[in-house]
Chains A and B, each alone.
Chain A
Amino acid sequence: MKKHLLSAADLTREDAELVLATADEMRSLADRPIKKLPALRGRTVVNLFFEDSTRTRISFEAAAKRLSADVINFSAKGSSLSKGESLKDTALTLEAMGCDAVVCRHGASGAPHRLANSGWVRASVVNAGDGTHEHPTQALLDAFTMWRHLGPRNGGTLDGLRIAIVGDVLHSRVARSNALLLHTLGAEVTLIAPPTLLPVGIHSWPVETSYDLDAVLPKADAVMMLRVQRERMNGGFFPTAREYSRRYGLDGRRMATLQDHTIVMHPGPMVRGMEITADVADSARSVIVEQVTNGVAVRMAVLYLLLGGSEPAVGTTDGADA
């Protein structure tokens, strides 16, 4: 039985398109006087955040509340985790209190997978970012944003669109999830980064790679800039921030080489002046704020499809029969 959303690779093309279509209906809710639907009334969603997050946690909270679910927020700071409690004991506590879904963000890659397959909790587990591994709902909201902007001029699909993902791919769970999901949806992904910031084994990903941003930009339909994740770096990945910014940052001069319809995206949080300049981030091409709006709709769709019926309509299989 499908139950969890742990990786963008869990989603078939049909699954992903169902999420996008559902999110489209959820998005229209924002225009209504009462922004609430009764679909998850009486269900409990726990936001289990072991790592700092603004956007993702608030987005999941808003999504669950708009579907009438009860939301319990749990962050590592100020909980017994800071006293040394393990993931297992935290999970058993949540299970004892009764919850239907656990939205998990963790600094260690694979933590949500462990939570889902350990038998500690019976709830559906949604990966909200684990280490440098995956962030599937971010990939879904990015795909949704592209689909809304670029879909109408491309037959309603992402087939054949060229997506450039630029920056710290090595530490980026967003890049991995996007590469997998966009490939599933038929888009052609190019990852652009200095050689030191591309992960080992990148040749096994369904993507092209390049070290030269200026060569890729004129052909791209969407450009996604990634933040340089200083907090995960313990070594010299590039000489200076200024040199990185000059070679891999998106500024007004580079933006001028883009096609007219090309959109500029950023999963946030962005560092203005580093990977993207302020004039680009605030330009008409930038859909960065809209990505946040779409995030709520996409997460509503995911929660609805996992919890709304008697069994989930999308996602990975249960640990028992996997």
Chain B
Amino acid sequence: MPAPAATPAPGPDTGRTVLDSGDIARALSRISHEILERNKGADDLVLLGIPSRGVPLAERIAERIAAVEGRAVPSGSLDVTMYRDDLRLKPARTLLPTQIPDGGIDDKVVVLVDDVLFSGRTIRAALDALNDVGRPRAVQLAVLVDRGHRELPIRADFVGKNLPTSLVQRVRVHLNDVDDEDAVIIEGAGA
């Protein structure tokens, strides 16, 4: 099942920090430029973060793109809870906000933004959720960390850092907006 990579683990903080706030800032800047390069500008771009930590990441990328291009890029959020394939395996989960920017996603290039790419199941759910919102011209995926172990044929277009991990490890992403610090931490065996 998709590990809730961004959920804080219980117990003492024994993790190893692999990205600090400077690293995260540089990775997001590079991703922003790559998105612009790939799409030859910011025309028709819509950034959708997957809650909870994909949303502030999408906002930061939108800010950087706006700084380069000199105009705002719409950024929103897309909750995938109802579309998860493990919905029935756990108690009913709290829904998180879905905020589709004005103008919708029809014929736009949607860039999904998430913190950690792991099994790929969250992204599959996001693709289903997008299907009910509209029909984008293209969908791309940007993640801060790709930790491998895919269970579905899904890959990211823009990656902040490839992080080889073992399945027993946990990857935690902390962001200022949610956790009062910017850091990516690996916990567990061999960390």
Residues of A that sit less than 8 Å from B by CB? 18, 21-22, 25-26, 28, 32-34, 36-39, 304-313
Query: Taking the complex as formed, is B79 at the interface, i.e. its CB lies under 8 A from any CB of chain A?
Result: yes
- Establish whether residues B98 and A311, one from each chain, have CB atoms under 8 Å apart when the complex forms: no
A–B complex contacts, Cβ < 8 Å, 28 sampled:
A21-B94, A21-B95, A22-B94, A25-B79, A25-B96, A25-B97, A26-B95, A28-B98, A34-B132, A34-B133, A37-B82, A38-B82, A39-B82, A39-B87, A304-B82, A304-B95, A305-B92, A306-B92, A307-B92, A308-B87, A308-B93, A309-B91, A310-B88, A310-B90, A311-B91, A311-B92, A313-B93, A313-B94
Main secondary structure of the interface of B (DSSP, over half): loop
Residues of B close to A33: CB separation below 8 A? 133-134
Give A312 to B90 CA distance when docked, in angstroms: 10
Q: Are B133 and A32 in contact (CB under 8 A)?
A: yes
Known: A25-B98, A38-B83. A308 touches B133 (CB 8 A): no
User: Within B50-99, which residues are at the interface with A (CB < 8 Å)?
Assistant: 79, 82-83, 87-98
Given A25-B79, A32-B133, A33-B134, CB of A38 within 8 Å of CB of B128: yes
Distance in angstroms from A311 CB to nearest chain B CB is: 5
> Which A residues touch B100, using CB under 8 A?
32
* Residues of A close to B82: CB separation below 8 A: 37-39, 304, 308
Contact partners of A311 in chain B: CB under 8 A: 91-92
C-alpha spacing A113/B133, complex, angstroms: 40
Chain A: CB-nearest residue to B104: A33
Residues of A within 8 A of B132 (CB): 32, 34, 36-37
CA distance A108 to B186 in the complex (A): 59
Q: Report Cα–Cα, A34/B100, bound state, in Å.
A: 13
**Lowest 8 CB-CB distances: which A-B pairs, in order?**
A309-B92, A313-B92, A308-B92, A25-B95, A39-B82, A309-B91, A34-B132, A37-B82
**B79 to chain A: which residues have CB within 8 Å?**
25
Which of A21, A308, A313 counts the most chain B CB atoms within 10 A?
A308
Query: What residues of chain A lie closer than 8 Å to B88, measured between beta carbons?
Result: 309-310
The reply to whether B92 and A304 contact each other, CB–CB distance below 8 Å, is: yes
Bound-state Cα–Cα, A309 to B79, Å: 16
- B70 shortest CB reach to chain A, Å: 31
A18→B89 contact, CB < 8 A: no
One of B83, B95, B98, B134 near A22 (C-beta < 8 A): B95
Task: Please tell me if the beta carbons of B92 and A312 are within 8 angstroms of each other in the complex.
Answer: yes
Interface centre among B93, B100, B128, B133 (most CB of A within 10 A): B93
With a cutoff of 8 Å between Cβ atoms, the chain B residues found around residue A308 in the complex are 82, 87, 92-93
Q: How far is the CA of A197 from the CA of B95 in the complex (A)?
A: 41
Residues of A close to B97: CB separation below 8 A:
25
Question: Considering the chains assembled together, what is the distance between the CA atoms of A33 and B100 in angstroms?
Answer: 12
Q: Which residues of B contact A28 (CB under 8 A)?
A: 98
- Given A36-B132, A309-B88, 11 more A-B residue pairs with CB atoms under 8 Å apart are A32-B132, A34-B133, A38-B83, A304-B95, A307-B92, A308-B82, A308-B87, A308-B93, A309-B90, A309-B93, A310-B89
Complexed CA–CA distance, A36 and B129 (Å): 10
Residue of B nearest to A312 (CB): B92
- List A contacts of B134 (CB < 8 A): 33
**Is there an interface contact between A18 and B94, defined as CB atoms closer than 8 Å?**
yes
Max chain A CB contacts within 10 Å: which of B82, B93, B97, B128? B82
Within 8 A of A (CB), among B87-131: 87-98, 100, 128
Closest Cβ–Cβ distance, residue B101 to chain A (whole Å): 13
The CA-CA distance from A33 to B93 in the complex, in Å, is 24
Residues of chain A contacted by B96 (CB below 8 angstroms): 25
Residue of A nearest to B88 (CB): A310
Contact assessment for B87 and A309 in the assembled complex, using a CB-CB cutoff below 8 Å = yes
Note all chain A residues with C-beta closer than 8 A to B92: 304-309, 311-313
CB distance from A185 to the nearest CB of B (A): 18
Give the distance in Å from the alpha carbon of A25 to the alpha carbon of B78 in the complex. Answer: 11
Contacts of B98 in A (CB 8 A): 25, 28
Find the residue from B79, B92, B134 having the highest chain A CB count within 10 A: B92
Min CB–CB distance A23 → chain B (angstroms)? 10
User: Closest approach, in angstroms, between the C-beta of A306 and any C-beta of chain B?
Assistant: 7
Q: Which residue in chain B gives the minimum CB-CB distance to A22?
A: B95
- What residue of chain B has the Cβ atom nearest to residue A35's Cβ? B132
Chain A CB count within 10 A is highest, among B95, B97, B98, for B95
Once bound together, how far apart are the Cα atoms of A294 and B23, in whole Å? 46
